[in-house]
């Protein structure tokens, strides 16, 4: 019997949520650079990497699951399911960030695509750590994880080179932007020949939401 080919939606649903290849790549690079960290915790949002002494929580966000404005690709099938899933993920991320920041944690979110330059990401983390260091452990940190879905003010925007993407820069000047939804199947990836017509975006700094027309292929330098 010929094995049925899985749809893109089915393939995406099988992707693990922890210990992904980008996470492991970053962890190995940090370890090699002498940065010691923790992995498991009960903190809001379950940060991927923790620097406890510096109170820095690092997340590695997949471009599909968390609405990357450069690379998000909407599946052809189960469109309403994935649209709802994306919005829920983004709002949950912001709620987790709020909870961490209110507890005096600094939050750094790294897009999956940024780990193409792992050394630069490590430098960013080292700059935030300064002279602080944390001991590497894999046991859990017992902290209550009460995350509200209420969306309030975000902390610090992440540093991202976005000179080529004015179409998703917020009026407040922040480029810490996520996709909440798109008008239909298609990809925001570089040189994609099939793009959705519109994208709904949210600024994680001021929480403004707005809708933009997605540039046609070749009209930008993504």
Least confident interval from 54-63, 74-83, 109-118, 209-218:
209-218
Structure tokens at 74: 């909407």
pLDDT of residue 118: 94
> pLDDT averaged over the chain?
80
Under the banding of pLDDT at 50, 70 and 90, the label for residue 57 is very high
- Mean pLDDT over 61-77 rounds to 94
Q: Who has greater pLDDT, 2 or 110?
A: 110
- Res 137: pLDDT: 38
Q: How far is CA 58 from CA 5, 52, 126, in A?
A: 36, 11, 12
**Better-scored residue on pLDDT, 154 or 186:** 186
Predicted confidence band of residue 136 (pLDDT cuts 50, 70, 90): very low
Cα 124 from Cα 144, distance rounded (Å): 28
Query: Could you tell me what percent of the chain has a pLDDT over 70?
Result: 73
pLDDT at residue number 19: 73
Q: What is the mean pLDDT of residues 183-212?
A: 92
Architecture of the domain made up of 17-141: 3-Layer(aba) Sandwich (3.40)
Give the pLDDT score at 18: 64
- Tens of pLDDT, residues 3-30: 555 454 444 444 445 678 899 999 999 9
Supply the pLDDT for residue 41: 87
Q: In this predicted structure, what is the pLDDT of residue 105?
A: 96
pLDDT band at 128 (very low <50, low <70, confident <90, very high): very high
Please, are residues 146 and 99 in contact by the beta-carbon 8 Å criterion?
yes
In tens, the pLDDT along 140-184 reads 333 333 333 333 222 233 334 444 466 788 999 999 999 999 999
The closest of 104, 85, 91 to 151, measured between CA atoms, is 91
Q: What is the mean pLDDT of residues 93-103?
A: 96
Share of the chain above pLDDT 90, in %: 64
Burial pattern 207-222, b for ≥16 Cβ within 10 A else e, equals eeeeeeebbeeeeeeb
């Amino acid at each position: 019997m010929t094995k049925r080919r899985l749809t893109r939606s089915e393939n995406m649903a099988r992707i693990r949520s922890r210990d992904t290849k980008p996470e492991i790549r970053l962890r190995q690079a940090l370890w090699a650079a002498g940065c010691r960290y923790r992995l498991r915790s009960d903190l809001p949002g379950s940060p991927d990497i923790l620097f406890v002494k510096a109170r820095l929580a690092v997340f590695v966000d997949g471009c599909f699951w968390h609405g990357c404005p450069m690379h998000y690709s909407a599946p052809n099938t189960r469109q309403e399911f994935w649209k709802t899933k994306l919005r829920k993920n983004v709002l949950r991320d912001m709620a987790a960030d709020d909870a961490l920041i209110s507890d005096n944690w600094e939050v750094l979110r790294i897009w999956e695509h940024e780990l193409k330059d792992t050394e630069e990401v490590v430098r960013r983390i080292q700059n935030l750590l300064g002279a602080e260091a944390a001991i590497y452990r894999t046991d859990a940190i017992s902290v209550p994880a009460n995350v509200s879905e209420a969306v309030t003010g975000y902390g610090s925007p992440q540093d991202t080179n976005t000179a080529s993407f004015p179409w998703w820069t917020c009026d407040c000047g922040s480029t810490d932007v996520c996709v909440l939804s798109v008008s239909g199947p298609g990809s925001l990836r570089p040189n994609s020949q099939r793009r959705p017509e519109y994208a709904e975006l949210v600024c994680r700094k001021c929480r403004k939401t707005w809708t933009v027309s997605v540039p046609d292929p070749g009209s930008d330098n993504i």
